[in-house]
Structure 1
Amino acid sequence: MRRSTHVATLDSLVDVPIADGGRRRPDADEATVDDATPSSHPGPPQFVAVNETIEDPNGNDQEDRDALAPRNPVADATYSWSVVDAPADSEATVGDDPIVGFDPDVPGEYTLALDADDGRHELTVRVFPPENEDDPRPRVELDADVVGEQVVLTATATTPPANSQLDPDIDVELYVDDRDRDALTDAGSVLSAAEIDEPVRIHAVAAGRRYSVADSIRLVPDGDSVSVERPYDPPSWLDDAVFYEIFTRRFPDQDDPTFDQMAEHLDHLDELGVDALWLTPFVDAYSSFGTDDDMGGPHGYDALDYFSVDPELGTMADFEAFVDACHERDIKVVFDLVVNHTSIRHEFFQAASDPDHEDHERYRDWYRWEDEDELVPDTYFGWSNIPNLNYENPEVREFVLSIVDFWVDKVDGFRCDVAWGVQHSFWKEVYDRVQSVDEDFLMLDESVPYFADFSEGEFHIHHDDRLHEALGMAADGDADAVLDAVERRANVGVPSYRPFLQYAENHDLDRFLAEHGRAAQMAAGAATFTLPGNPMLYYGQETGLEGYRDPMNWGEFDEELYDFYRSLVDARKSIPALGSDAGIERVPFYSESDRVLAFSRVADDQRVVVVLNFAEGSRTVRLGSYVETTDLLTDAELSPTERDDGLIEFEVETVAVLEADEPPATGPELDAGDSDDAREFDAEDGLAAVTGDDSTES
C-alpha cells in the first residue's frame, strides 16, 4: 500500500480556495437562521465527476441515486435553487423544483444556492474530471492537531492495496463546511485555536485518476484550544460486536408469538454471546401472521403503520419492555427501517392510486410512477406490492423523518432496508439527525451490491453481499474467492474505518445448510468470525434450521452445531488477532482441495493462521513450520507430520486457528499448484499487493 500525506493549517482554508475553479464565500447575512429554527441548508459539500449526474432515476434497480434537497423540509415552505458560481465554460443549470438533480458539464468548483423561507444557503459542489470506473478509488483519512496556536490539518491519501503504484496525480483537497464558514469570517491572517468559538466541520477528499469518499472532522471549542471529533467513525460498541438476526414473527414459540415470549428466549442469545439483535420489521404490516410461505411468510416489509407495532406481537409497552430486557443483557437492539416503499395497501397509496379519493391529488406525488397516467407504480424487481416512495417530494421526506424521530430513542440502531433505493442526501440527513440524539446510534445499510459512497456520513457498517457470494463459491470449489471478496472492499474505496456485516445466512437467502451441506455451512460460519468485519448469525443457523423463514426449532437443536458456534463467538472475543483492528495477510499453503483456504490475522502482540475447509471430511494442509499446531478453538493438538522439506502437514476438519510467528522472508517452497505468493494485508486496510509503505508528503 502507498500513502501520501498532506498538511495544511486551518487558516489556509479561509478566503483562499483549495481547489481550481474558485468560489466566493457567502456574505455573512445570506444564511442567517434563528438558532431555534432547524436550518434548510442542504448539508455538506458534494463531490462528483463530470460523467456522474446527481439524479434519482425511475426503475433502475440497485443504481446509485441522489438529489439536492433542503433539510428539515416543511410541506408548505417555498424552495428554489440556482447556480451562483461556476467554472467559466460551464452551462450547467438546476431545475425549479424544491428537490433537484444536477448535471455538471465541466470540472471545477460550483456554488449552488438554495433560497428558502429561512434565508439563502450556499452549497459547494466540487466536480472532478471524467473517471474510468474500472480504476480503483483512493481513500483519505483526515485528522487535526493544535501546534502552537495554530490548527494543523493532516490528510493521508492511500492507494488501494491491490494497486502497487501510487497514483502520481493524487492530491488532497480540504473544505470548510459551507454551514460553518461564518464561524471563521473574523479570523486574521493566522487563525488560532482560541479564535474558534463555534464548532467547525472540515472535509477532505483525495483525488487523482478517481476521487475518494470524503472524510470529515469536527473542531469543537475547548477552552483556549479545540478538540477533534470524527463524526463518521462508528460507535465504539461496534468494534467486536456479534450480530444476530431474527425473523421476528417466526423466532418465538408459535403457540405464543409475542414480545413477552421472545424475551423469554433472550438467555439463548446471552449464552451464545450476542451483542446486537437485528429484528426484521415488527410494525403493523400487511404481511403479518398468516401470510403464506410462497408469499414470503410473515415478513413485515410492507408497512401499514410506521408508528405502531403489530398488535399480534403485543403493545408498544411490550416492545419497550423487550428492549429493556435486551439491555439488561448488554444486547443492543437494531430496528429494520423500511422507508424505500410502503405496502400497496397503505392508506397513502390507496389515496394515490384512486382518482376518486378525496386525498388523491395530495398523495399521488408521494409515490413514483412507471406510468402516471395509468397509475402504475414504480417498483424494483417486480415487487408489485411495495411501491416506491418519491423522495423528490418534501412532504415525503418530512414524513419519513418523523418516523426516524419516533424510533430513534426507542432502539440502538437502524438497519436500513433497500438503502440503495433512497437518495444519498436523505441518508446524510438521517445520519446527522440520529447522531445529534445519540452519538452511539448505529446506522447499517442494505446496499446490495455495496457502494463506497454510503460510507460518507450515511452509514457505519455495510452488508457484505460479495463475501456471502464468495462463501458459496468456496463451498463449490473456489475458496480463493473469499479473500478476493475481502480485497474488493479497499479497491472500491470503502474507508478503512468502515466495517462490514459478514453472514452466511439471512432472511433473503436460502439457508447455507440447505444449499451446501453441514460441513460447508460450518466453514462459512467460521469465515465470518475469523475474517475482518462483524459476524452475524441468522436465527437457527446455530441450531440446524434448514428452512430460511421456518419457525425457530426450540427444543430440537443440533447441539454439536450450537457448541461449534459458541466456540466461534468465544474465539472472536478472546483471541486478539481475530479482532476488528487486526490485519490480514495471504499466506503460502498447499492442499489438494480447492475448497481449502488459509490466511493470517495479525494484531500488535499476536499472529494466527486460520485454515478453513469447506469440503466434507478432513483435508490435508501443508504450511511452514512457523505455525504452532495447537488449535486455539478446541485446544486440540493437530498431530502434524514434519516433512523433509521443512514444511508441516496436518489434517483440518472444518477450521483451525493456530498461533504463529512472523513467516520467514525465505523458506521451503511449496509443491507445484501452490497458492500465489504471499501478499501482505495492511493492519487496517485489507489486502495489499506489495510489502512496504512508500510514503510521500506535501
Structure 2
Amino acid sequence: MSTDIDREWWKEAVVYQIYPRSFADSDGDGIGDLRGVHERVDYLDELGVDVVWLCPVYDSPNADMGYDIRDYRAIMDEMGTMADWERLRDALHDRGMRIVMDLVVNHTSDEHAWFRESRDPSGGRDDWYIWRDGDPTEPPNNWISLFGGPAWTYDEARGAWYLHLFDEKQPDLNWENPAVREAVYDMMNFWLEKGIDGFRMDAISCISKPDGLPDADAGDDWFDMDLYFNGPRIHEFMREMAAETYGDYDVLLIGETPGADPEEAKKYYEDGVDVVVHFDHMDVTYGPGGKWSPDYVGTEALATTDDADLDAMLNEMDLADLQEAIRYWDEGVGDWWNCLYMGSHDQTRLVSRFGDDDEYRRESGKLLATFLLTQQATPFLYQGDEIGMTNADWDSPEDIRDVEARGQVDRLLSEHGVPYETVAPFVRNRSRDNARTPMQWDDSEHAGFTDGDPWIQVNDDYPLVNADRAVADSDSVYHYYRDLIALREARDVLVYGETEYVLPDESHPDVWAHRRTLGSASMLVVLNWQRERERLGDVLDADGRVVFGNYDDRNASATTLAPYEARIYDRSR
C-alpha cells in the first residue's frame, strides 16, 4: 500500500442521490417521504453506498419540486417531520453511512418570509432580494430565465421588478447585502449542528451578480453564461461561507458550478469546496443550440422521423468528445478532486441517454456502471441507476410536471407551430421528469412506490425493471453495481491511481479504454460502447487477468468484444 496517498473519506466514498418525492411513499398520499427513505435504508446499506445525498426536503410550495425553499429550518409537510429526518440521520449513521443535504441559497421561494417582508420597502428587508424600479412594461434588462421566459417579474405590491434566474417563484437573494449572508450562514450552522455530513450547494456559482446588471449579448433566446455565473465576488463569498460555517467540520462540500471551467474550479477548491459539479461531459449529447434546441435535428425531422431514430439522434454522442470532456477536467484540476455522475434529478436516465434501453439495457447498464466507478473521481449514483431504470413516454403535455420542460415545450410549440406529438421526443429525451418517475421497487401496482395515486406517472416497464427482481437475480445490474462498489473499495488503484486514456481512436471510435496505475498496481478498463461486436487485435496489449466484466466469458486473451461489453483487467506487477 502506498504511503503518500492523500486520503479523504469522501474521495473513497460512493454517493447515492435520493430524490425523496419519488423514492418511497410510506403513507399512501402518492408522494415519497422521509419515512419511506428510512424504510429503505437497509437496501442502501446492502448496495454498499457510503453517502446519501438527499434532495431538498425543506418546507416548500414545490414550484420547482423543493428547490424553492419557503423555510430552511422546517421539513415539508409532505415529507414528514423533523423527527422523521432525525430518525433517518441516525439510521444512516448507525450503518456507517453519511447524509449530505441539498441546499439552495441563490434564491428562495417567493413565499419565504424574507421575500414577503422584502415586498414592503419599509419592512426591514427591502434589499434582501434584487429589486429594480422602472416602467412596469419594460424589464430592467434583457436577461432570460434558465427555465425560459424573462428573468424579471413585476411585483404589483412593491411596484418594482425582481430578478429570478430560475422560475418566477424563485426570486434571487441579494448576496451583496451582509445581512443576507449572515442569515444564510446561521441557517447552515443550524444543520451542521444537527449532525449532517455536508452540503450539496445548488447553483452556487450564480450567487454573485455582475455590477450594474448589464444587458446580455445572447439576445432573447438563450442566457449569457458570463453574466449569470461566477460573478465578481463569488470567491469572496465562498471563502466567507467556509470561514463562518463548514470550515471547522469534517464534512463534504459539493459545489454545483455551472459555467466554471477547470481554472475557475480551482478557485472554488481554494475557497474550501471539496468537489465541483460541472456539466461538460453531460453536454456531449446536445446540439449546438443547447439542450432544448431542435436546430440540429430540424423541425421537419421531428415531424417525420421514426421515434426510435429520433431517440438515437437526440442522444447521439461521439465517444471521443466524452473522453475529451473527462480528460479536460482530470488534467485541468491537477491535484484537486473531481466527482463524476451520469444521471441526476436534473438529467434523463443514463441507460436511455448513454446506453441502450431496449435490447441491451442490462449490458449497457453494467457498462455505464463500469465507466462511472473506475474513474479518478468520487462517483455519484442516482436512485434507480443501480437497477437500470429508463426514460418514460409522455403522451400528453398534461403529464409533464417539470417546470423547465413545461416552459420549453410551450416555447417550442409557439416558435415552430407544431403539435405536441412533434416535440414529444424532446420531452422523452430531455425532460427532468424522466429521472423523477417513482423508484420501481416491485411489480405490484405503482411499482411498490405507493398505495395511493403517484404524484407523477410510473414508467410502464416496472414489471420488468424493479428492485425486487434485480436483487433476486444474481446477474442483474444491481448485483453488478454492488460487486463493483466492493471492488473499488478493495482496490486503492481504482480510487487514487493515475489515469492514462488509451481509446477511442480513429480505428476504434466506439471503444473506450483507460489505465489506472498506483505503484505496482495497474488495472485496464475496456468498454465496447456500441451494439456491434468489435475486434481489437493487439491494440490494447491486454495481457492481464480479467477480474471483472459484464459477460460470463472473461477470457483475457479474447480480442473480440461483445455488444456493450465491459472488462477490467488486473495488470499489476
Q: Which TM-score band (shorter chain)?
A: 0.5 to 0.7
Q: Which segments of 5 or more consecutive residues in structure 1 lack a partner in the other structure?
A: 1-232, 288-294, 643-647, 663-698
- 2:502·2:512 contact (CA, 8 Å) conserved in 1? no
Shift, 1:325, TM fit: 0.3
Is 1:443 matched up with 2:218? no
Amino acid of the structure 2 residue aligned with 1:657: I
Which has the larger displacement, 243-252 or 420-429? 420-429
Alignment equivalent of 2:379, drawn from 535, 555, 568: 535
Amino acid of the structure 2 residue aligned with 1:392: E
1:649–1:259 distance in 2 versus 1, CA, 3 Å: closer
Q: Secondary structure at the match of 1:245?
A: strand
Corresponding residue number in structure 1 for 2:488 = 572
- 1:601·1:608 contact (CA, 8 Å) conserved in 2? yes
Is 1:619 matched up with 2:463? no
Q: Map of 1:56-205 to 2, 5 A cutoff? A: none
Alignment equivalent of 1:388, drawn from 156, 172, 176: 172
Superposed CA RMSD: 2.9
1:639–1:258 distance in 2 versus 1, CA, 3 Å: closer
Is 1:454 matched up with 2:271? no
Shift, 1:515, TM fit: 3.2
Corresponding residue number in structure 1 for 2:241 = 430
Q: Map of 1:546-565 to 2, 5 A cutoff? A: 546=390, 547-555=434-442, 556-557=466-467, 559=470, 560-565=476-481
- 1:242·1:276 contact (CA, 8 Å) conserved in 2? yes
1:331-384 Cα deviation digits (max 9, x unpaired): 1100111111011122221232356xx61xx2220001355675221121x522
Is 1:501 matched up with 2:501? no
1:532-553 Cα deviation digits (max 9, x unpaired): 1011111111123333111211
Q: Secondary structure at the match of 1:363?
A: coil
Partners of 1:571 and 1:326 in 2: CA distance: 22
Alignment equivalent of 1:415, drawn from 192, 200, 204: 200
- 1:444·1:462 contact (CA, 8 Å) conserved in 2? yes
Is 1:479 matched up with 2:319? yes
Partners of 1:499 and 1:471 in 2: CA distance: 25
1:108-161 Cα deviation digits (max 9, x unpaired): xxxxxxxxxxxxxxxxxxxxxxxxxxxxxxxxxxxxxxxxxxxxxxxxxxxxxx
Q: Secondary structure at the match of 1:252?
A: coil
Corresponding residue number in structure 1 for 2:46 = 271
Partners of 1:641 and 1:315 in 2: CA distance: 57
Shift, 1:254, TM fit: 5.8
Corresponding residue number in structure 1 for 2:518 = 603
Which structure: greater strand fraction?
Answer: 1
Shift, 1:625, TM fit: 3.8
Amino acid of the structure 2 residue aligned with 1:281: P
Amino acid of the structure 2 residue aligned with 1:425: E
- 2:504·2:511 contact (CA, 8 Å) conserved in 1? no
Shift, 1:285, TM fit: 0.7
Partners of 1:567 and 1:470 in 2: CA distance: 29
Alignment equivalent of 2:130, drawn from 352, 361, 368: 368
1:188-241 Cα deviation digits (max 9, x unpaired): xxxxxxxxxxxxxxxxxxxxxxxxxxxxxxxxxxxxxxxxxxxxx998211210
Q: Secondary structure at the match of 1:448?
A: coil
Residue identity (%): 29
Partners of 2:330 and 2:42 in 1: CA distance: 38
Amino acid of the structure 2 residue aligned with 1:366: W
1:536–1:588 distance in 2 versus 1, CA, 3 Å: closer
1:401–1:234 distance in 2 versus 1, CA, 3 Å: farther
Partners of 1:258 and 1:383 in 2: CA distance: 24
1:659–1:641 distance in 2 versus 1, CA, 3 Å: closer
Is 1:331 matched up with 2:93? no
Partners of 2:531 and 2:283 in 1: CA distance: 19
Q: Secondary structure at the match of 2:512?
A: strand
Partners of 2:492 and 2:331 in 1: CA distance: 26
Partners of 1:640 and 1:437 in 2: CA distance: 49
Is 1:260 matched up with 2:32? no
Q: Secondary structure at the match of 2:180?
A: helix
1:659–1:244 distance in 2 versus 1, CA, 3 Å: same
Which structure: greater helix fraction?
Answer: 2
Amino acid of the structure 2 residue aligned with 1:550: T
Q: Secondary structure at the match of 2:105?
A: coil
Partners of 2:51 and 2:484 in 1: CA distance: 16
Q: Map of 1:512-527 to 2, 5 A cutoff? A: 512-516=350-354, 517-518=356-357, 519=360, 520-527=364-371
Higher Cα Rg, which structure: 1
Corresponding residue number in structure 2 for 1:33 = none
1:259–1:235 distance in 2 versus 1, CA, 3 Å: farther
Partners of 1:434 and 1:476 in 2: CA distance: 43
Q: Map of 1:612-651 to 2, 5 A cutoff? A: 612-616=527-531, 618-622=533-537, 623-633=539-549, 636-639=552-555, 648-651=559-562
Is 1:654 matched up with 2:565? yes
Corresponding residue number in structure 2 for 1:348 = 114
Partners of 2:319 and 2:527 in 1: CA distance: 9
Partners of 2:163 and 2:131 in 1: CA distance: 5
Give the TM-score normalised by structure 2: 0.65
1:637-692 Cα deviation digits (max 9, x unpaired): 544668xxxxx555464311012268xxxxxxxxxxxxxxxxxxxxxxxxxxxxxx
Q: Which segments of 5 or more consecutive residues in structure 2 lack a partner in the other structure?
A: 136-158, 208-233, 288-311, 391-433, 443-465, 471-475
1:636–1:561 distance in 2 versus 1, CA, 3 Å: closer
1:464–1:621 distance in 2 versus 1, CA, 3 Å: farther
1:652–1:611 distance in 2 versus 1, CA, 3 Å: farther
Q: Secondary structure at the match of 2:318?
A: coil
Shift, 1:276, TM fit: 0.6
Give the TM-score normalised by structure 1: 0.54
- 1:610·1:656 contact (CA, 8 Å) conserved in 2? yes
Shift, 1:611, TM fit: 0.8
Q: Secondary structure at the match of 1:407?
A: helix
- 2:204·2:256 contact (CA, 8 Å) conserved in 1? yes
Shift, 1:415, TM fit: 0.6
1:81-116 Cα deviation digits (max 9, x unpaired): xxxxxxxxxxxxxxxxxxxxxxxxxxxxxxxxxxxx
1:613–1:338 distance in 2 versus 1, CA, 3 Å: same
Partners of 2:26 and 2:532 in 1: CA distance: 36
Q: Secondary structure at the match of 1:594?
A: strand
1:618–1:578 distance in 2 versus 1, CA, 3 Å: farther
Shift, 1:324, TM fit: 0.6
Amino acid of the structure 1 residue aligned with 2:176: E
Partners of 2:7 and 2:499 in 1: CA distance: 23
Which has the larger displacement, 448-457 or 366-375? 366-375
Q: Secondary structure at the match of 2:44?
A: helix
- 1:339·1:400 contact (CA, 8 Å) conserved in 2? yes
Corresponding residue number in structure 2 for 1:544 = 388
Shift, 1:604, TM fit: 1.6
- 1:337·1:415 contact (CA, 8 Å) conserved in 2? yes
1:242–1:614 distance in 2 versus 1, CA, 3 Å: same
1:415–1:532 distance in 2 versus 1, CA, 3 Å: same
Shift, 1:521, TM fit: 4.6
Corresponding residue number in structure 2 for 1:31 = none
Partners of 1:649 and 1:342 in 2: CA distance: 54
1:571–1:641 distance in 2 versus 1, CA, 3 Å: closer
Q: Secondary structure at the match of 2:87?
A: helix
Corresponding residue number in structure 2 for 1:466 = 280
- 2:24·2:36 contact (CA, 8 Å) conserved in 1? yes
Partners of 1:465 and 1:601 in 2: CA distance: 23
